[in-house]
Amino acid sequence: MIAVVDYATGNLRSVANALHRAGAEFTLTADPALLRAADRVILPGVGEASSAMAKLRERELDGVIPTLTCPVLGICIGMQLMCLTSEEGDARCMGIFPTHVRRLRGGASEEGPLKVPHVGWDTIEGLRTPLFDGLHEGSFVYYVHSFAAETCPATIATTRYGESFSAALGRRNFYGVQFHPEKSGATGAAIIRNFLNLHP
């Protein structure tokens, strides 16, 4: 069973559509027992980090998710909540990944000013782990974000937007992507398939 964590942060429909396209059956749930029994867990999310963490705490999921032993994938805010802290709302997060989430600084580039939020297609580099099997360096993915995790030993892909940040993180059975695989065309579909095929 694939469980998609439902904690009232939106983005569930697009993730659900991506799983339908992959031919995967799933359950939307905030039930700790169902999450513990799942073969795969996806933690999606859009919005503001401190509010999203508050919703996890209301459901007592902040203590459940770090204890899961199946493959877990955080998407966008879902990944950020798996880090130590976020500058967005001065949030204390779940501490699965040993890094902090900072506001993007933007700045200038050869193509012109780098605006925040970072919206649109960008490349991922330094791809590691089976999450990226079959993908090439420089593959394009779709971003919508103003905050990003600093690079750290758990970084398994990076993107440069004025500075390098963690496009993806991986530690033990936990994975996270800052971009939206459900909106990233064939590359995103491949990442979702790879996650669904990960060995527990």
Domain count, the chain: 1
Average pLDDT over residues 36-44: 97
- Encoding tokens for residue 14? 């697009």
Per residue in 41-61, pLDDT (tens digit) is 999 988 899 999 999 999 999
What pLDDT, on a 0 to 100 scale, did the predictor assign at position 106? 79
- Is 108 or 94 the better-scoring residue by pLDDT? 94
What pLDDT, on a 0 to 100 scale, did the predictor assign at position 75? 97
Q: Which domain holds residue 143?
A: 2-196
Per residue in 108-165, pLDDT (tens digit) is 676 678 899 999 999 999 999 999 999 999 999 999 999 999 999 999 999 999 999 9
What pLDDT, on a 0 to 100 scale, did the predictor assign at position 199? 80
Return the active site residues.
Answer: 76, 180, 182
Could you tell me the CATH number of the domain that includes residue 8? 3.40.50.880
Which residues have a Cβ under 8 Å from the Cβ of 47 and sit 6 or more positions away? 9, 10, 77
Taking Cα atoms as reference points, which of 182, 137, 192, 188 lies closest to residue 160?
137
